[in-house]
Amino acid sequence: MSNHDSCPTVLKDRMALLGIEIHVSTLPPVVSSPWTEWLTCPHGTKFWYEPTTDQRAAWARDGVT
């Protein structure tokens, strides 16, 4: 099991392998979007994540819905 400090980086890196750039935080977003998701790492911390603004813009430009 990896060091807990690396959990957000591991999540970002794994999503990047899918071609998705995300923002990760331990705080829920002020306003949830249809893309807002969360998971609990093996160390028990809940991480909220969603595509970055740049990622959403790229999807809009490319016609991805």
Residue-wise pLDDT tens digits, 15-61: 999 999 999 999 999 998 899 999 999 999 999 999 999 999 999 99
Local confidence band at 2 (pLDDT 50, 70, 90 cut-offs): low
CB 52 within 8 A of CB 23: yes
Q: Would you tell me how many other CB atoms lie within 10 Å of the CB of residue 41?
A: 17
Amino acid identity at 60: A
Q: What is the pTM of this model?
A: 0.82
CB 11 within 8 A of CB 22: yes
